Amino acid sequence: PFCLLDEVDAPLDEHNVGRFCDIVRDMSSRVQFVLITHNKATMELVSQLIGVTMNEPGVSRLVTVDVDEAVRLAAV
């Protein structure tokens, strides 16, 4: 299964964001998730980050980060 969640963590307090992350982590062995979020705690849960930035007006740019690789490179 595939699940797309668009800022579902936005109205949650810190405690419930943690509970949400626990549920996603538990289900991720059986379900593929795409999460749209601005919450740093939720971002810490993932292995891949894809961001959209706008360096100049009207021009969007994708930025991708493999979190595991970034951690490995930061340790060097």
Residue 35's nearest CA partner among 5, 8, 11, 64 is 5
Q: Average pLDDT for residues 61-73, to the nearest whole number?
A: 93
Q: How confident is the model at residue 45 (pLDDT cuts 50, 70, 90)?
A: very high
pLDDT of 76 reads 84
As beta bridge partners, residue 3 has 33
Residue 48's nearest CA partner among 61, 60, 62, 30 is 62
Q: How many residues are there in the chain?
A: 76
pLDDT of 28 reads 95
User: Do 49 and 43 contact (CB within 8 A), yes or no?
Assistant: yes
Cβ burial 62-71 (10 Å sphere, 16+ → b, else e): eeeeeeeeee
